[in-house]
Amino acid sequence: MKVSSEILSLVPYKTGKPISEAQREYGLKSVVKLASNENPLGPSPKAIEAVEKALKNQNLYPDPSCYELVHLISQKWSISSKKVAIGNGSNEIIDLLIRIFCEPGEAILTSKAAFVAYQVCAQAARVQRFFTPLKLDFTLDLEAMAQFLVESPDKGRVRIVFIPNPNNPTGSYVGREAVRQFLEKVKDLPDLLIVFDEAYNEFVRAKDYSSAQDFMTQFPNVLVIRTFSKAYGLAGFRLGVLLAPDFVVDLFNRVRNPFNVNDLAQVAARAALSDDDFLKRTQEVTWLGLDQIYQGLNDLGLKYVPSQGNFVLFDTQRDVVQVNEALLKRGVILRPVMNYGFQTHMRMSVGTHEENQKALQALLEVLKEVKPK
Ligand SMILES: Cc1ncc(COP(=O)(O)O)c(C=O)c1O
């Protein structure tokens, strides 16, 4: 069977190790998993209650248009319902945007060490990937991106730019003014969409950050992706949101599978969106947890990147394969990020106070066991 070389050389997206797998492999009873930037508080209690009630309706197909959820988002996030589409996680949205707007041989542009799904989805669609370098402080370089789009010999092939803001795995962000200047520079380029992936939007504390949604009216090529997997605690349900110009929403709804978002996910998302207390509690736990992790890493003498997400990238200064193995033996799953080009760094998601404590304690022991590089 003939298979495209792009498909044969595809490296699948590496997810965090499931707890059950670590238990099986290492014979562990209790495991702390801080590897996938999930919400340590679980789903919103209102979402759980609503889902339990909706179970008895699951003989029926879900609403293919997600009508109620779309209208609730429109109201809560102050945007026309014509500019809202729902995906099976933001991952599906990334995948479909590439399939809709890029022909094989055309390209996406993103940054090195940007969230890896853009490049995986592009490669699967035989779409070229271009990357600008990361700045020394681990932030995305929007000036380099604009320069690529205006000056590079390949500029005409780029159909979509992906800007994760904040970025995973670095936790870094780009501020409002840098975004505005970038959009000014590229606003007249034809057939180009600028996608801001704001999966971690709700965790941002930086005062000079704003959602790119604020730029959608002024710059009609701006799209925003949001998710219910992080702050809303619904990763298992799979629900992402696309905010985009009407014509993009229209095309997206033509191409997606009719029942891409199941009923329980819709029910859970509607309830979670109305649970302001849960969101507030999630933010508090995340921000306290980040400060706890910073303090722990400072005590261990490890450098980290200040984060606007619910995770921290830090430098173990050691061979990360060995560090990871030693942590797993102690029942702690963090995320090595070699696939992002970092040989000694790991990413730790914020857990509960106790989980963070356990992970930091394990790290203390492991640093004594594994020699620095
Ligand atoms: C930047 C970024 N975008 C998107 C996603 C995917 O989220 P979802 O669960 O909505 O597919 C993640 C998940 O880790 C992420 O880090």
Residue 362 in this model has a pLDDT that exceeds 90: yes
Range scoring the smallest mean pLDDT among 17-31, 75-89, 263-277: 17-31
* Domain ranges across the chain: 5-43+277-369, 46-274
Global confidence as pTM: 0.96
Q: Using one digit for the tens of pLDDT, what is the confidence trace for 323-350?
A: 999 999 999 999 999 999 999 999 999 9
Distance 370 CA to ligand 1 centre (A): 31
Closest to 167 (Cα-Cα) out of 214, 121, 127, 132: 132
CB 241 within 8 A of CB 198: no
The class that CATH gives domain 5-43+277-369 is alpha beta
Q: Residue range 274-299: average pLDDT?
A: 98
Is pLDDT at 271 greater than 90 in this prediction?
A: yes
Strands of the chain (E only): list them: 32-33, 84-87, 107-111, 128-132, 158-164, 193-197, 222-227, 240-243, 304-305, 311-315, 332-333, 335-336, 345-349
- Residue 227: phi and psi, rounded to 5, are -140, 155
Q: Does the CB atom of residue 199 touch ligand 1 within 6 A? A: yes
Q: Are strands 193-197 and 158-164 parallel, antiparallel or unpaired?
A: parallel
The Å distance, Cα 371 to ligand 1 centre, comes to 33
Distance 163 CA to ligand 1 centre (A): 13
The amino acid occupying position 90 is S
**Would you say residue 6 has pLDDT above 90?**
no
Above 90 in pLDDT, residue 162?
Answer: yes
Asked whether 37 lines ligand 1 (CB < 6 A), one says yes
Rounding to the nearest 10 degrees, give the CA dihedral for residues 42, 44, 49, 52: -50
Residue 333 CA to residue 318 CA, distance in Å, equals 17
Strands of the sheet with 345-349, listed across from one edge:
304-305, 311-315, 345-349, 335-336
**pLDDT at site 183:** 98
Average pLDDT over residues 144-163: 97
What pLDDT, on a 0 to 100 scale, did the predictor assign at position 63? 98
pLDDT at 22: 86
pLDDT given at position 140 = 98
Query: In the CATH hierarchy, which fold is given to the domain comprising 46-274?
Result: Aspartate Aminotransferase; domain 2 (3.40.640)
Query: Residue ranges of the alpha helices (H) in 83-133?
Result: 89-101, 117-124
pLDDT tens for each residue of 9-57: 888 777 778 888 889 988 888 999 999 999 999 999 999 999 999 999 9
Q: At what angle do helices 276-300 and 353-369 cross, to 10 degrees?
A: 20
Tokens at 37, concatenated: 């930037």
pLDDT reading at 119 higher than 80? yes
Mutation test residue for ligand 1: of 14, 121, 163, 197, the one with most atoms within 8 Å of CB: 197
Instruction: Determine the Cα angle at 87 with ends 348 and 82, to 5°.
Output: 125
Interval between CA 250 and ligand 1 midpoint (Å): 23
CB 91 within 8 A of CB 226: no
Between CA 367 and CA 144 the distance in angstroms is 37
Is 211's pLDDT higher than 90? yes
User: How many other CB atoms are there within 10 angstroms of residue 208's CB atom?
Assistant: 11
Using DSSP's 3-state secondary structure scheme, residue 283 falls into: helix
Query: 240 in ligand 1 pocket by Cβ < 6 Å?
Result: yes
Tokens linked to 153 = 């010999």
Atom of ligand 1 nearest to the CA of 235: 9
Could you give the CA distance from residue 242 to residue 271 in angstroms, rounded to a whole number? 19
Q: Average pLDDT, stretch 307-318?
A: 98
90 lines ligand 1 (CB under 6 A): yes
pLDDT of 18 reads: 86
CB 240 within 8 A of CB 87: yes
- Residue 242, pLDDT > 80, answer yes
Residue-level pLDDT at 16: 76
**Cβ-count burial 20-31 (b if 16+ within 10 Å, e if not):** eebeeeeebeeb
Best of 15, 91, 238, 335 for a ligand 1 pocket test (most atoms within 8 Å of beta carbon):
91
Rounded to an integer, the average pLDDT of 272-277 is 97
